[in-house]
Amino acid sequence: MPSHLPPKETDPSGAVVVLRDRAWGGEQASVSESRPPMPAPPPRWAGRFRRLEHRRDESYRSLDVAICGAALVSVQEWVRLLRCPICLPVEET
């Protein structure tokens, strides 16, 4: 049996249930009890211009590209974004 597989446990009906670690505490739960992991959201950064978000464009559809190479996407006025660490580096004083 390969060692890279997660531990297995047999349920009362005799079927094999593969166990996986829970992300919030290292406990183990059966696949039927836990939900599938959610994909991580793409990083969102503020650029040099107001209301433009830096987002990676995997399909290369956007023509507007930031200094860091991320696509520029318009966002709502009330959205607060972190400063892009490449386009707006922190200046040491």
Average pLDDT in the 22-40 region? 54
Among 4-8, 12-16, 38-42, 72-76, the range of highest mean pLDDT: 72-76
CA distance 56 to 13: 47
CA distance 80 to 65: 20
CA distance 55 to 64: 11
pLDDT tens-digit series, residues 20-30: 333 334 444 44
Determine the 3-state secondary structure of 22 from DSSP: coil
pLDDT tens-digit series, residues 56-90: 556 656 556 666 766 666 777 777 777 777 777 77
Domain ranges of the chain: 1-34, 39-93
Give the model's pLDDT for residue 41: 57
Nearest CA among 80, 91, 42, 85 for reference residue 66: 85
